[in-house]
Amino acid sequence: MLNTTDMFVIRSGKLVLENINLRINQGEFVGIVGPNGGGKSTLLLTILGILEPSKGSVDVFGHNPKLVNFNGNVGWVSQDAASIPTKMRMTVRELITLGTLSSSNLFSFRRKKNNEVVENAMRLVGLSDLAGMDIGRLSGGQRQRAVIGRALASNAELLIFDEPLVNVDREARNGILKLLDDLCHNQNKTLLMVSHDLTAIRQSAHRVIYLDGKIQFDGSPSEIPDLSGLAGLVGIQHVHAHGKREDEQ
């Protein structure tokens, strides 16, 4: 599904990602965590073909994403996707219907088939009862579900999320994580999610990657080190590790 080999990425003259070797298979739910500036968004943008490796390679479905139009096979939910202006007049159904459009069908709109896809996407994200409501009237969690529904309507096999839990309350966050788990197990979708919420990642993803310039950890959520262990992975030492400071002696 996704493969990077010895990949280096430079942005604005600075080396952001170094020696990234990553393989993601169909049906996996992979969570990516790491500090600000650690390269998480850069990795996603490179996978999407928006950025290009300075060295090494990235393949999605066996192709260079820079050179291929995936026509909906890759669904992308950006960090601010659910920050929809409350004054915008668009219903849940209309927003999700946008996911059915691609460069290959833009001028050959198949209403019946697309209606079925949209209805199924609304059902999966639990918004069928709100199909006719303006998105500006939805809660933050409901708007996030609607945006995920738009990605599902594209029939994407690979779904990529950048901080989907931002500005979402606890109850909605749990609902979204359950939705993502269902998409993976029941719909055989492949999920790649970036989040600062390590607890949420550990509770939902099948596999966790800790990224800080390099892949510092890649394994089961149950095996990821605690915060002290993660600091040790990237060479951060405890400032009080050697006892009192000299001015206190």
| Tens-digit pLDDT profile for residues 85-120 | 667 789 999 999 988 876 454 444 555 567 888 999
**Sequence ranges of the domains in the chain:** 1-68+195-249
Q: How far is CA 120 from the centre of its chain?
A: 21
Q: What does the mean pLDDT of the chain come to?
A: 84
Q: Is the pLDDT of residue 247 over 60?
A: no
* pTM for the structure as a whole: 0.81
Phi/psi of residue 233, each to 5°?
-60, -35
Q: What is the 3-state secondary structure (H, E, C) of the chain?
A: CEEEEEEEEEECCEEEEEEEEEEECCCCEEEEECCCCCCHHHHHHHHCCCCCCCEEEEEECCECCCCCCCCCCEEEECCCCCCCCCCCCCEHHHHHHHHHCCCCCCCCCCHHHHHHHHHHHHHHCCCHHHCCCEHHHCCHHHHHHHHHHHHHHCCCCEEEEECCCCCCCHHHHHHHHHHHHHHHHHHCCEEEEECCCHHHHHHHCCEEEEEECEEEEEECHHHCCCHHHHHHHCCCCCCCCCCCCHHHC
The CATH number of the structural domain formed by 1-68+195-249 is 3.40.50.300
Question: So what's the pLDDT on residue 107?
Answer: 45
Question: So what's the pLDDT on residue 246?
Answer: 46
Question: So what's the pLDDT on residue 20?
Answer: 97
Q: In what order do the strands lie in the sheet with 55-60?
A: 14-24, 2-11, 55-60
| Tens-digit pLDDT profile for residues 38-96 | 999 999 999 999 999 999 999 999 888 887 777 678 888 887 666 666 677 899 999 99
Cβ(141)–Cβ(173) under 8 Å?
yes
